[in-house]
Amino acid sequence: MPNVVLTVDCEGAMHDRCYTSDLIKVFEEEFVPATWLIHVSLKDPSANTNLYYHEFVHKIPNWHELGMKVNFENERGYVEDPKERGNIIWVAKDTLKSHMIKATAFRAGAFALLPSDVPYLQESGILVDSSVIPDSDYKMFVGWQGAPKNPYHSSAEDLKVEGSNKLLHLPIATANGKHAYLDLGFETLKPILEENKDLELITIGIRDYLDSVAALRQVIQYYRGLGAHFTTMTQAASEHFQHHS
């Protein structure tokens, strides 16, 4: 029986459309939880946090999870300096905290997570990350060729190698160079889902500013047929700990 985590990249404030209300409706009708990763960037730290706090948090059932998604950028562009990146993480944490959101789940924008980020994430209370896209052709700033496909703890020096970091990575499902985001459409997603159906955990992404509502229903129905267990990122980390401890 597959275990499935559905994650939503919450960036609607930066785009012309936001499909969050439609996604919430599907999740409620299907009684499936999701992890909502609220996007924070130094370019406008509170834009998405304000949008979700005022428009959607009261509509998202409390059996879902709110986490954070961070773009490592400032007004000059992509940030590589470890201390500056650490500061961005703390800004994101404080921005969410000011809206009464304590995040324990995380994703890096453009999947650009570096080893130097992990201590800052752990210090800020992050328990679980989903920035890994093993063997995907996508590479904006960080490549994930050779990374594990099952949940794992990474090495302090190389996040693609298993090690002793406390942070647990939930890799996004990948196959044939593609990573599983619902805006690919169900027919394109299906080979990825089938390729990964025997993994310990299958993690799938959704973008709130693209219309993936029909694909969401199809993916849920597909996994219902397999007797799937749907969970959130932090709950999946807890279950992984119990299973492996």
Q: H helices of 31-157, where?
A: 47-55, 82-97, 117-123
Predicted confidence (pLDDT) per residue in 202-230, tens digit: 999 999 999 999 999 999 999 999 999 99
Assigned architecture for domain 3-244: Alpha-Beta Barrel (3.20)
Q: How confident is the model at residue 75 (pLDDT cuts 50, 70, 90)?
A: confident
% pLDDT > 90, the chain: 90
In angstroms, the CA 199 to CA 196 distance is: 6
In angstroms, the CA 84 to CA 72 distance is: 9
% pLDDT > 70, the chain: 100
Average model confidence (pLDDT) for the chain?
95
112, 142 Cβ separation under 8 angstroms = yes
Q: Is 222 helix (H, G, I), strand (E, B) or coil?
A: helix
In angstroms, the CA 87 to CA 93 distance is: 10
Predicted confidence (pLDDT) per residue in 10-22, tens digit: 999 999 999 999 9
Name residue 20's beta-bridge partners: none
Residue reference for tokens 């807890």: 238
